[in-house]
Amino acid sequence: MRLSEIFGNGYGSFRRFFLLLAKAKLPYLWLLGDIVASVVIIRIGVSTTEYSAELFAGNVGLTAVVLPFLFYTLLSMALGCVSGAVGALCSARIDRNLRRVLWTKIVRLPLSFYESSEPKELLSRITTDVSSISTLIMQVFLPILTGGYSAFAILGRISSYDSKLMLSLLAVLPVNLVIVFIVGRMRFGVNDLVNRRRAQLTGAVAERAGSMMLVKSTGTEGKAFTAGEQKMKGLYGAAIANNWVAQLSVPVYAIAGALEVIVIILVGRGFYADGSLSLPQWIAYYGFAIQLTSLLSSYCGYWAAFKGAQGSTDRVSRIMDLAEEAAKTGRGAENLSGDIRLEHVDFSFGEKELFRDLSITIPAGKITAIVGPSGSGKTTLINLIDRLYPLQGGSIRIGSDDVSEFALQSYRRALGYVTQESVMYAGTLRENLLQGLEREISEEELDAACAAVGILDFVRSRPEGYDVLVGEAGASLSGGQRQRFAVARALLKKPDYLLLDEATAAMDIDGKAGVWSSIRRLMAGKTVIYVAHDAQTIANADYLVVLRSGAVEAAGSREEILTSNTYCREMMEKGGEEQDDEA
């Protein structure tokens, strides 16, 4: 474990923290109530200390000392219970609000964020890091404010005994400050290291648990175990380092505190000996001095806690600082019509250029297949049309309209898009089919859409019908069934433009034929664009666009391209041979 990991250089500042809080919609009224309760408890505590000193000095008058002492003690306990309940409520509300704001931000970030980040580590951002921030607010920043007021009240009362006594106390209190910065920096580093190692473990376990089919089928249980064990060892090492730093800081603080107590007693004894303090005042002074010493030690802990949580704050703040997609900026896209034209489009993945000055016209009202070798940009082309990535140059138009002028949310809802993964959520079939639909969908419409893709019999075979649970990521369904439901979901939108990225790849030959027959019937006169990878899907196209190395190799009617383009002709011939072999 390197020292740079423990000391954790390069993290954020107070400014980043307070900017984050400004976005978090904190429960300010509840926080104010907690502060007010703490102030009242502090004032009561000052009085309780003085009555305690009277008792220790032998003054036991019932009405003058004993009853007021009991009253203030019980009142302080009652207010402490109220303050604890309010504090717990504030902490829960801060967690809720921060998670809501962070999750809202995450879902509004562009797709490139998820491709350059590890989505599974976002679990730790939303859980562990947010809890660290709320703890920082409730157990560090608020106590700093109330502790400052407590110190002011105590010093004011000591000053009323003798101003020189207050100054003498101030001179001996800051002994602990000598070590606080080093210890605080180390606590920051190891706490942040623990959080980072925990996030890595969460990501590794979640990834392999979600891919157990692959692990089992390839017999790589040992590798899966080793990958998880390495992350566990990393977390264990960070936890041990954190424990050592925490334990070693305790005796250091204890020694410094003991030295302070000795000096405090000697200072107070001197003032009492020369008659500057009465016996009750000397006892009260000692009580107040111990409270201040404890308060200063707490401030040392606050600094260490702040440094420990600074990494969490920095990670969450960096996400909050990212630019969101402007989902609602622009005009509505209710009436899209016309050809899709990519004009001089430039696009790169990082430093890897994919398209340079790419121009294509995809005719309206036809079924267009995008074909080409792997890596030629077929899926990326579909994604650019759906505006999942911003262009680096050029424009995309539908009819005469530049699609960038449309509100992103409205534009995407106007298109139907079935991705390669055919994503489904844990829940019911009905919930998955209605995903993204704003209008009411009748049972008859659901039946019609499922019948169109050949899956209605499956739905009716289930006692729960559309309310059957599909499992996490649709685990109870086959790949072909998930694709059928994904196509049905797109057809329920009744889009004028339908995008399909190998949306029938997992279906058998008859299933593909039935789905494409329905697509051709339901999308008659509308525009369909799909990524094709075999002869059967190419046969469904009216128009072909052939991509190779990010450039258009050929474009035209299916008959024309199959005659003139070697790549498509070979694909059709190979597909015909495969179908003959299956027959």
Contact 257, 290 (CB under 8 A): no
Query: How far is C-alpha 270 from the chain's CA centre?
Result: 59
What average pLDDT does the segment 279-293 reach?
Answer: 86
In sequence order, the β-bridge partners of residue 352 are 349
Domain at 542, CATH number: 3.40.50.300
Identify whether residues 315 and 358 lie together within a single domain: no
Beta bridge partners of 360: 342
Helix H or strand E encompassing 572 = helix 566-582
**Residue 359 and residue 296 share a domain:** no
Which of 292, 321, 350 is the last residue in one of the domains? Answer: 321
Tell me the sheet residues that pair with 343. Answer: 395
Q: What is the 3-state secondary structure (H, E, C) of 232-262?
A: HHHHHHHHHHHHHHHHHHHHHHHHHHHHHHH
Find the distance separating the first CA and the last CA of the chain, reported in whole Å. Answer: 62
Residues 556 and 504 in one domain: yes
Encode 553-583: b = buried (16+ Cβ within 10 Å), e = exposed. bbbeebeebbeebebbeebbeebeeeeeeee
Dist. CA 308–CA 132, nearest whole Å:
9
The pLDDT of residue 583 is 38
Spatial separation of the C-alpha atoms in residues 119 and 402, rounded to whole Å = 32
**CATH code (residue 288):** 1.20.1560.10
Looking at the fold, whether 273 and 344 belong to one and the same domain comes out as no
Q: Which of 468, 555, 453 is nearest to 500 (CA)?
A: 453
Mean per-residue pLDDT, 336-365: 91
Give DSSP secondary structure letters for 160-189: HH-HHHHHHHHHHGGGGHHHHHHHHHHHHH
Q: What digits encode the pLDDT tens for the residues 437-461?
A: 878 889 999 999 999 999 999 999 9
| Average pLDDT of span 255-260 | 71
Q: Are residues 280 and 236 in the same domain?
A: yes
User: Quick one: how far is CA 47 from the chain centroid?
Assistant: 47
- The pLDDT of residue 366 is 93
Give the domain range for residue 573: 340-582
Share of the chain above pLDDT 70, in %: 90
440 and 562 co-located in one domain: yes
Is 536 within a domain? yes
338: left (phi over 0), alpha (psi -120 to 50) or beta: left
Mean pLDDT lowest among 48-52, 178-182, 314-318, 511-515: 178-182
Instruction: State the pLDDT at residue 6.
Output: 43
294, 321, 348 — which closes off a domain? 321
Q: Are residues 355 and 390 in the same domain?
A: yes
Q: In this structure, are 302 and 393 located in the same domain?
A: no
Mean residue pLDDT of the chain comes to 83
Are the C-beta atoms of 289 and 103 separated by less than 8 Å?
A: no
Distance of CA 213 to the CA centre of its chain: 27
Task: Note whether residue 326 is domain-resident.
Answer: no
Residues 6+ apart with CB under 8 A from 320: 19, 20, 23, 101, 102, 105
Task: Specify whether 344 is located in the same domain as 199.
Answer: no
Final residue of a structural domain among 321, 351, 376: 321
Instruction: Tally the domains of the chain.
Output: 2
CA atoms of 440 and 419, how far apart (whole Å): 24
> Residue 534 region, left (φ>0) first, then alpha (ψ -120 to 50), else beta?
beta
Q: 106-154, pLDDT tens digit by residue?
A: 888 888 888 777 766 777 788 888 888 888 888 888 888 898 899 899 8
With respect to residue 334, please indicate whether it lies within any of the assigned structural domains: no
Q: Phi and psi of 270, rounded to 5°?
A: -65, -45
Q: Which range, 318-332, 387-401, 493-507, has the best average confidence (pLDDT)?
A: 387-401
Q: What is the mean pLDDT of residues 271-292?
A: 86
Report the range of poorest mean pLDDT among 20-24, 180-184, 286-290, 298-302. Answer: 180-184
CA separation (Å) from 273 to 155, 270, 284? 21, 5, 15
Contact indicator for 101, 24 with CB cutoff of 8 Å:
yes
Q: What tens digit of pLDDT does each residue of 81-94 get?
A: 988 888 889 989 98
**In this model, does residue 360 exceed pLDDT 90?**
yes
Question: Which of the 8 DSSP states describes residue 407?
Answer: -
- pLDDT surpasses 90 at 397: yes
Element (H, E) at 212: helix 212-217
Instruction: Decide which of 565 and 219 is more confident.
Output: 565
- Read off the DSSP letter of residue 503: T
Q: Does 526 fall in a domain?
A: yes
288 and 213 in one domain?
yes
Same domain, 309 and 364: no
In a 3-state reduction of DSSP, which class is residue 402? strand
Please state which of the ranges 261-270, 488-497, 510-519 shows the lowest mean pLDDT. Answer: 261-270
Sequence-distant (≥ 6) Cβ neighbours of residue 322 within 8 angstroms? 105, 109, 113
Instruction: Indicate if 238 and 385 belong to the same structural domain.
Output: no
CA dist., res. 264 & res. 461, Å (int): 83
Residue 213 within any structural domain of the chain: yes
Judge whether 1 lies within some domain: no
Where helices occur in 439-553 by DSSP H, the ranges are: 443-452, 456-461, 479-492, 509-522, 535-538
The token duo for 366 is 């036809």
Q: DSSP per residue over 366-391, as a string?
A: SEEEEE-STTSSHHHHHHHHTTSS--
Among 340, 396, 376, which Cα is nearest to 554's? 376
- Is residue 344 one of the residues assigned to a domain? yes
Residue 370 lies in a domain: yes
Q: How far is CA 432 from the centre of its chain?
A: 23
Q: Is the pLDDT of residue 10 over 80?
A: no
